[in-house]
Structure 1
Amino acid sequence: MKKLLLLYSLLLSILSLQAERRFTLSSPNGNLSCSVFLGDTLSYSILFKGSQVLSKSSLYMTLDNGETVGIYSKLRSCKRKSVDRIVESPFYRSSEISDKYNELVFNLKKEWSVEFRAYDDGIAYRFVNGNDKGFKILDEHVEYSLSGDEKVIVPYVARGSDGDFESQFFNSFENTYTECNVSAINPGRLIFLPMMYETSNGIKVCITESDLENYPGLYLRGNSNCSLKGIHAPCPKRVEQGGHNRLQMLVREREDFIASIDGKRSFPWRIAVVSDDACNIAASNLSYLLASPSRLSDVSWVKPGKVAWDWWNDWNPAELDIDLSFIEDVDNKSVEMFIDGINFHRIARDYRKSMLGRFGKSSIKVKLAPGGGFVMKIFNK
Structure 2
Amino acid sequence: MKNMKILTTTVLCLLLSFFMGTTAMAESITSPDGQLKLDFSVNTQGEPVYELFYKGKEVIKPSKLGLELKNDPGLMGGFACIDAKTSTFDETWEPVWGEVKSIRNHYNEMAVTLNQKAQNRNIIIRFRLYNDGLGFRYEFPQQENLNYFVIKEEHSQFAMTGDHTAFWIPGDYDTQEYDYTESKLTEIRGLMKGAITDNASQTSFSPTGVQTSLQMKTADGLYINLHEAALVDYSCMHLNLDDKNLIFESWLTPDAMGDKGYMQTPCQSPWRTVIVSDDARDILASKLTLNLNEPCAYQDVSWIKPVKYIGVWWEMITGKSSWAYTDDVYSVKLGLTDYSKTRPNGRHAANNDKVKRYIDFAARHGFDQVLIEGWNEGWEDWFG
Q: Does the TM-score normalized on the shorter chain lie above 0.5?
A: yes
The 5 Å alignment of 1:10-159 reads: 16-39=20-43, 40-64=46-70, 66-109=72-115, 110-131=121-142, 133-157=147-171
Provide Cα deviations, 1:126-153, integer angstroms capped at 9, x if missing partner.
0011116221112110211111222222
Farther off after superposition, 130-139 or 65-74: 65-74
Q: Secondary structure at the match of 1:80?
A: strand
Please report the RMSD computed on the Cα atoms of aligned residues, expressed in angstroms. Answer: 2.9
Structure 2 unmatched runs, 5+:
1-17, 116-120, 190-205, 317-324, 338-370, 378-384
Q: Return the alpha-carbon distance in structure 2 between the equivalents of residues 195 and 262 of structure 1.
A: 30
Structure 1 residue 295 and structure 2 residue 297: aligned?
A: yes
Measured in 2, the distance between the counterparts of 1:90 and 1:126 equals 25
Structure 1 pair 127–27 and aligned structure 2 pair: CA distance change class (3 A): same
Q: Which residue in 2 is equivalent to 1:185?
A: 188
Shift of 1:179: 1.8
In the comparison of the two structures, how many residue pairs are matched?
Answer: 291
Secondary structure of residue in 2 paired with 1:281? helix
206, 229, 233: which one aligns with 2:249: 229
- Inter-partner Cα distance in structure 2 for 1:177 and 1:46: 27
**Which of 172, 176, 192 lines up with 1:173 in the alignment?**
176
Question: Which amino acid letter does the alignment assign opposite residue 34 of structure 1?
Answer: L
Distance 1:131 1:149, change over 3 A: same
Q: How big is the shift at 1:211?
A: 0.8
How far off its partner does 1:95 sit?
A: 2.6
Pair 105,279 (structure 1): closer, same or farther in 2 beyond 3 Å? same
Q: What is the one-letter code of the residue matched to 1:213?
A: V
CA contact (8 A) 2:20 2:78 kept: no
What is the letter of the counterpart of residue 135 of structure 1? F
Pick closer, same or farther for the CA change 1:146–1:306 going to 2, 3 Å: same
Aligned counterparts of 1:18 and 1:73: Cα–Cα separation in 2: 11
Give the letter aligned to residue 220 of structure 1: L
Which residue identity lines up with residue 266 of structure 1 in the other structure?
Answer: Q
Deviations 1:296-318 (A, max 9, x none): 2322221111111244599xxxx
Q: Which amino acid aligns with 1:25?
A: I
Q: 1:211 to 1:349 in 2, by over 3 A?
A: same
2: distance between equivalents of 1:189 and 1:50? 30
Cα 1:185–1:86 change in 2 (3 A) is: same
What are the residue-to-residue correspondences of 1:238-317 with 2, within 5 Å?
Answer: 254-255=257-258, 257-311=259-313
2:228 partner letter: E
> Can you give the 5+ residue segments of structure 1 that lack an aligned partner in the other structure?
1-13, 158-167, 237-253, 315-341, 353-367, 375-381
Letter of the structure 2 residue corresponding to residue 115 of structure 1: R
Deviations 1:279-312 (A, max 9, x none): 0011011111111222223222211111112445
- Mapped to 2, the partners of 1:369 and 1:173 lie a distance apart of 20
SS at match of 1:156: coil
Shift of 1:22: 0.5
What's the TM-score once normalised by structure 2's chain length?
A: 0.69
**Alignment partner, residue 213 of structure 2:** 194
Alpha carbons of 1:264 and 1:350: their partners in 2 closer, same or farther (altered >3 Å)? same
The superposition leaves residues 13-44 of structure 1 with CA deviations (integer Å, 9 ceiling, x where unpaired) of x9542323201110000111111122321111
Do 1:60 and 1:71's aligned partners in 2 also have CA atoms closer than 8 Å?
Answer: yes
- Asked whether the 8 Å contact 1:216–1:258 carries over to 2, the reply is yes
| Alpha-carbon distance change, 103 to 191 in structure 1, aligned in 2, over 3 angstroms | same
Q: 1:18 to 1:66 in 2, by over 3 A?
A: farther
> How many Å separate the matches in 1 of 2:40 and 2:218?
21
Matches of 1:75 and 1:370, distance apart in 2: 53
Share of identical aligned residues, percent? Answer: 24
Note the C-alpha offset of 1:200. 2.3
Alpha-carbon deviation of 1:189? 4.2
TM-score normalised by L of structure 1: 0.69
